[in-house]
Structure 1
Amino acid sequence: MAVWILTILIISYLVGAIHGSKVAQFISGVNIKKEGLKNSGASNAAIVLGMKYGILVALIDILKGVLVIIGIRFCIQQYGTFSAAEQDLLLYLAGAAVILGHNFPVYTGFKGGKGTASIIGILFAIYWPIGLIGLLLLIGTTFLTDFLLIGVFVFYAVFIVASIWFAKGVAPIAIAGFLFVMAVVLHIENFRRLVRKEEPRISAFLKKKKPSV
């Protein structure tokens, strides 16, 4: 079990550390880590380069979460002999490692994004119907309030509820709680801007056509 955990953590972290922002940089020529909010997340790509680039980065970062969970689930079912609780633990550890890799990538000096796109992919791969519901609520809340930040934490609420309701054992719930707390910490400045009425609105992303250079 220990070998499985260590292997899963390393692989998931390294995959998580691969960023969609690098594709956006290759296409646009703009390093979004040096612009806007100075991170490599999808929301910053939208702020700096426009909504189309934000969607591109989000899709890539969602996909890595999906692929890691699907790949690891296949391996533990084919080559491991684990209980349902142990399988859930391994999948949640993989998900957490993807998020840590995304937020603190070794390739870029541990300065990454905030994990939103990847957590969407992870929930989709673990419980896809709940992931779809969470995504629809994220999109709906974002457009209703005009703030992505609020939609993000509605999605995290869905993720935690799904973990409590469907996951076997306490460990997955604890991991989901850890990811929520990490998201709160990484979004503190966003909350401060929201209070100051300076947080970027989603409508501003939609109007953005050209890279900011």
Structure 2
Amino acid sequence: MIESLWSPRVLVIILAAYLLGAVPFGLLIGFLRGKDIRQMGSGNIGATNVARCVGKTWGVITLVLDVAKAALPVYLASRLAPEALREVLPALAGLAAFLGHLYPVYLGFRGGKGVATAVGVYLFLCPVALAINVIIFVAVVAKSGYVSLGSLLTSLLMPALVWFTCHSLSVTLLASVMALLIWWRHRENIARLLRGEEKSWRGARE
């Protein structure tokens, strides 16, 4: 398996996943609307800040694109993986796309927080766990008004949900790594939540 991981085909798949995941759709959509969202709201390039600063419709479009840019490489990796890497390569491609969003080469490695991109990863790797967590996310956000709180809670739950529903060690490890990175990227949100200063999604523009 070690030799297979270093094969040119595998390396190209992982690199392509990273480069696609690094595409800053939120920033590009902001530019289309004449705005640099890095200078607005939280300064984040993800769907929540796009919705808050540009409009909910554009936030939804950003969300869909950020999901797709992870789902596509995971799907292609599952189709192109050699037999020995049938389970591992899609997880690696998902991690590469996720890291691309967090640390995009196009923006000096300063990217988003990864929640929507993580959804794209799980869409193919463990859809049952994703469906359960979407329900939890919607309930938490509807009750609290805080997208960040829903993101933090569901990312924390995801490794256990993956293990109990999909029984995949590689995807469980992936979920654990992504959860740690999501919490790290949300450290400022955590501080604002603790101070009672976090902005509600209900403040997003129509």
Normalising by structure 1, we get a TM-score of 0.86
* Deviation (angstroms), 1:114: 0.5
Letter in 1 for 2:106: Y
* Deviation (angstroms), 1:158: 4.2
Task: Report what 1:35 is aligned to.
Answer: 40
Whether the aligned pair in 2 keeps the contact of 1:120 and 1:135 (CA below 8 Å) is no
Task: Report what 1:110 is aligned to.
Answer: 109
Letter in 1 for 2:35: V
- Extract unaligned runs of 5+ from structure 2: none
Letter in 2 for 1:143: A
* Deviation (angstroms), 1:5: 4.1
Task: Report what 2:168 is aligned to.
Answer: 168
Q: Secondary structure at the match of 1:36?
A: coil
2:83 alignment partner, one of 71, 81, 87: 81
Whether the aligned pair in 1 keeps the contact of 2:48 and 2:201 (CA below 8 Å) is no
Whether the aligned pair in 2 keeps the contact of 1:44 and 1:54 (CA below 8 Å) is yes
- Extract unaligned runs of 5+ from structure 1: none
Task: Report what 1:200 is aligned to.
Answer: 199
Whether the aligned pair in 1 keeps the contact of 2:17 and 2:96 (CA below 8 Å) is yes
- Following the alignment from structure 2 to structure 1, what is the Cα–Cα distance between the partners of residues 127 and 140? 20
Instruction: Tell me, yes or no, if structure 1 residue 15 matches structure 2 residue 27.
Output: no
Task: Report what 1:159 is aligned to.
Answer: 158
State the superposition RMSD in angstroms: 1.8
Structure 1 residues 47-56 or 111-120, which shifts more? Answer: 47-56
Matches within 5 A, 1:174-185: 174-185=173-184
- Following the alignment from structure 1 to structure 2, what is the Cα–Cα distance between the partners of residues 35 and 75? 40
- Following the alignment from structure 1 to structure 2, what is the Cα–Cα distance between the partners of residues 61 and 167? 26
Structure 1 residues 31-40 or 184-193, which shifts more? Answer: 31-40
Task: Report what 1:70 is aligned to.
Answer: 75
Task: Report what 2:57 is aligned to.
Answer: 52
Instruction: Tell me, yes or no, if structure 1 residue 135 matches structure 2 residue 140.
Output: no
* Deviation (angstroms), 1:136: 2.4
Normalising by structure 2, we get a TM-score of 0.89
Render the CA deviation track for 1:27-86: whole Å, top value 9, x for unaligned. 31111112221121112112222322221111110111111111111112xxx222xxx4
Task: Report what 1:120 is aligned to.
Answer: 119
- Following the alignment from structure 1 to structure 2, what is the Cα–Cα distance between the partners of residues 182 and 168? 20
Whether the aligned pair in 1 keeps the contact of 2:104 and 2:111 (CA below 8 Å) is yes
Whether the aligned pair in 2 keeps the contact of 1:123 and 1:159 (CA below 8 Å) is no
- Following the alignment from structure 1 to structure 2, what is the Cα–Cα distance between the partners of residues 12 and 37? 27
- Following the alignment from structure 1 to structure 2, what is the Cα–Cα distance between the partners of residues 204 and 38? 16
Aligned residues: 200
Whether the aligned pair in 1 keeps the contact of 2:37 and 2:44 (CA below 8 Å) is yes
Render the CA deviation track for 1:130-183: whole Å, top value 9, x for unaligned. 3222222212211111111121123313431233232433x4333321111111
- Following the alignment from structure 1 to structure 2, what is the Cα–Cα distance between the partners of residues 35 and 162? 35
Q: Secondary structure at the match of 1:132?
A: helix
